[in-house]
Structure 1
Amino acid sequence: MDPELVRGLVTVAVGAVSGGITNAVAIWMLFHPYEARGIGRLTIQGAIPKNKARLARSIGRTVGERLLTPEDLAGRLSAPAVRQAFDAAVGGILDGILERERGPLRDQLPPDLVVAVDEAMAGIAPRIAGRVAAWAESEEFERLATGWMERIREEVADRPLGESLTEGRRAALKDKVESWVGRLAEDDELERTLRGFVERHLDQLSRDDAPLLDRLPPGIIGALEHAITDYLPIALERLSALLTDPDARAMVEDALRTAFDNSVRDLLIHERILARLVVTDRTIERLVDGFEQEGLDRFAESLARPEMKAQVTRAVNDAVVNFLRQPLGERLRRFTPERREALIGTLGDWLVRVARDRTTRDAIARTVDRALDAVERRTWGDVLGVIPAERLAGALAEVLAGEQGKRWIEESVAQVAGRLLARPIGRPADWLGAETSAAIRTGISGAVWVWLQQQIPRVVEQIRVPEMVEQKVLGFSTQRMEEIVRNVTQRELDLIVRLGYVFGGLVGVVAWGVNALLG
């Protein structure tokens, strides 16, 4: 073979191998070695690992300032596709709220939150009652309440009450009153109240030293005297009829016999013997028979005579006046504790029986019925015009500012809160209606989207894209970065190595040609 040709082939081969290896080493040294190796200035390190921080900063700046600017983010978040996705998400949330069947609000809340709500309501109710009481005592409340009463009076002054009291409302009102009276009568609190009322008034009467005569209405003493005088003949007639009873007759005979025996003891011996012979048991029986047959009747007839009746009237008057001149408190203070307790118990039992008696309830029902009949013939102006508006406002303020009013407001707030928490929510779309539900969906979605668009520039300004990209790049290991680059550009890197072989071979051909020309 021609030596010149062999020399040329070797030159071309060496150039091709040199070019390919050089490019392969250059590509390898982009990432290798990962860490600096060597001594002193003779250290080597891959280009990318060595300049990783600068590369990350450059990539972040390029992405944040040219590829993904705040304007690009804002425009992207305002795109129609994002609006459609947003409307779909908001619609799904609203559908879950409006279309879902829900039970009581208390069941929808976590147990810890329910306890917190109960504690909050327990603390809010007294504060609301206190605020209302303070407001009720202000001049502003008096002015507002007075104006409110006057406006109501003017609006309904000529309106008949009968228009409001329909048969159904009237029956419902009567039933409600009967129900209230029934519950009140059977309530233990009523019994305690009545017994306490009796005990307090007896205690007050026991300290009253005024004569009972001064406490009675004028004219009642004369009526009482007349009644006692007229009743005496009737009492004697009843006493005569009483002697027909064997037991009563025996008691009267025994009483007369005992009285006779006591009288005989004070007589002399011969008088005592004579009395025993004259007054026997048979004599006492005939005496009682005489009283039974006509004795008491004649005594009653004698009481009917004017002169006798006048004497009886004076005697009765003296007895009644003497009785009434003694203070009632003095009589009550003579009672022993046992007798006093018995009196309190008796009066309390009587009042409780009266309050719980069916007749009392019927009387109240009849009174309510008569009151409703009378009310139907009047107008609202007649009813509201009886009391001045200022007085009504003052009474309302007094009620709201009092302890009872505060307690009522506290109980009302607690009841309202309890009912709200215990009431089933149901399906909100049912009680809102289809049109209202659709309007809520459209309105909320539009309002939230407008608000979101207003907030996007402010939010995007807070997104530091260059810093985020830089930190992300720095977070990658060199090996991971090499894998990413090679996965994307491996074909191009292989092409670079091949081109190195080609260019190296061309350099070898040129070198061989030059040698041949110069040779």
Structure 2
Amino acid sequence: MNVVVVVIMMVLVGALIGGVTNSLAIKMLFRPYRAYFIGKWRVPFTPGLIPKRRGELAEQLGKLVVNHLLTAEGLQKKLQDKLFLNEITEWVQREVTKLVSSEETLVNVLEKWFGITNGKEKARAGLERWLNKKLNVMVEEIRPLQLEEVVPKGVNEAVDKYIPQLTHLILEKVKNYFNSPEGIDQLANMVDRFLLAKGTFGNMITMFLGNERLVDKIQPEIIKMLNDEGTHQLIEDFLTKEWRKVKKLRVTDLEEYMDVNEVMSFLQEKIMDHVPFTKLDKPLKEWSLIIEQPLINEVVPLAVNKVGQAVSSELVTLLTKLKLEDVVREQVEQFSVSRLEDMVLSISRRELKLITYLGALLGGLIGLFQGIFIIFLS
């Protein structure tokens, strides 16, 4: 009977020693949180393993995250995944739909999201400054240029092609005028003034013609001259020659006849008049009807795809600049040891208890073998 009691006692002692030893070893991973000293002598095993090696742990966790978890290759693969892109696209489309269908005005959006107050006035003032700057730059650039370099090529070609038609139009207008009573009267007045200015010579011509008017003889000849192909060619050549001269003029030469800055101011004013600033005060849903479907169905998917490609191509650079390893290390170093302990225990509490029970079991088995060994020796 005494032998059985001894064996049982040895099993219990072995189990207690094994369980307590394992439990103490687990606790010594974290505790004590700080070092204890007796005089200048530091008590062994203080602080615990993790508090003592927290710096190394933080550094290794940083390397683990960068080298094995958040790798550029893994993130690139995720960004290029069609399912992920579809999910992001659908989310952005939903958010854009909510925005463009809302009662908020663009002014409110600018103020809420970007902190821009008086958005309407600032937008107008900013556009005016931008336009003024761009137009001034444009004026300085075109001043030394010839007119044919400033006017679009299509306009130059159109004017060249239009000159024959313009010649025909001018001749037709002149013929119609001289065939009209008003034109004949005007021509008669001109002839009378001409003869009157010639004095005696003019009176002689009048006496020679008798009751016939000189204008009745001149007017048909003028019409005949205007119908002549040579006249048409003469005027066409003249207009072509003059147009070529005009095209060779520099913008600076035109400033003698008009104020270029005044023209640019006029253009700026007209552009500003056609910019819908009044809609900035209206709800987004009222002025976004035209662009809503193209924006959601075309612009958003394209933008998501382009942003994904841009981020993917620059991911290595971005991760390098973010210095994730340092971020993780700094965050872990800022954790209190008690928080680290809670994090580890929250994940592995069950396993750590099993380790404690396993220690007790092994200790009990060792005590059992010791008891049996003692029995055989005795």
TM interval, short-chain normalised:
0.5 to 0.7
Residues 336-415 of structure 1 correspond to what in structure 2 (within 5 A)? 385=238, 388-393=242-247, 397=251, 400-402=254-256, 404-415=258-269
Question: In structure 2, what is the Cα distance between the partners aligned to 1:150 and 1:111?
Answer: 40
Q: Secondary structure at the match of 1:32?
A: coil
Verify the 8 A CA contact 1:153 1:385 in the aligned structure 2: no
Identity over aligned pairs, percent? 19
Report if the CA contact (8 A) 2:15-2:361 is conserved.
yes
In the alignment, which residue of structure 2 is the partner of 1:281?
A: none
8 Å CA contact 1:31, 1:48 repeated in 2:
yes
- Matched to 1:420, the amino acid is H
- Deviation string 1:13-64 (CA, Å, 9 cap, x unpaired) is 2222222221221122111100011331434221111111222223333343
- AA of the residue aligned to 1:42: V
CA contact (8 A) 2:33 2:51 kept: yes
Residue pair 1:102, 1:427 contacting (<8 A) in 2 also: no
Equivalent residues of 2:19, 2:357 under 8 A apart? yes
TM-score normalised by L of structure 2 = 0.61
2:371 matched to 1:512? yes
Would you say 1:503 and 2:357 are equivalent positions? no
2:124 to 114, 119, 123: 114
Kindly state the Cα deviation for residue 84 of structure 1 after the two structures are TM-superposed. Answer: 0.9
AA aligned opposite 1:419: D
- Cα deviation, 1:376-401, whole Å, max 9, x if unaligned, reads xx999968945722454578957731
After superposition, the CA RMSD in angstroms is 4.7
Residues 68 and 393 (structure 1), Cα distance of their counterparts in 2 relative to 1, 3 Å cut: closer
Matched letter for residue 268 of structure 2: A
TM-score by length of 1: 0.47
Q: Which amino acid aligns with 1:114?
A: R
In structure 2, the residue matched to 1:17 is 16
CA distance in 2: counterparts of 1:12 and 1:128, whole angstroms: 98
- The residue that corresponds to 1:56 in the other structure is 58
For 1:412 and 1:114, how far apart are their aligned partners in 2? 16
Q: CA deviation at 1:480?
A: 0.5
- The one-character-per-residue Cα deviations of 1:109-160 (angstroms, maximum 9, x if unpaired) are 443343343345456655655555x33xx5x337877x99974454124437
Mapped partners of 1:25, 1:481: distance in 2? 18
Q: What amino acid is the match of 2:147?
A: F
Cα distance change, pair 382–445 in 1 and its aligned pair in 2 (3 A): farther
Q: Which amino acid aligns with 2:84?
A: V
Cα separation, 2, equivalents of 1:161 and 1:428: 50
2:33/2:48 contact within 8 Å kept: yes
For 1:505 and 1:423, locate their aligned partners in 2 and report how far apart those are by CA, in whole Å: 86
Does the CA contact (< 8 Å) of 1:125 and 1:410 recur in 2?
A: yes
Alignment of 1:405-444 (within 5 A): 405-422=259-276, 427=287, 430=290, 443-444=302-303
Of 137, 141, 152 in structure 1, the residue corresponding to residue 147 of structure 2 is 141
After TM superposition, the structure 1 stretch with the greater mean CA deviation from structure 2, 490-499 or 399-408, is 399-408
Gaps of 5+ in 1: 164-218, 223-377
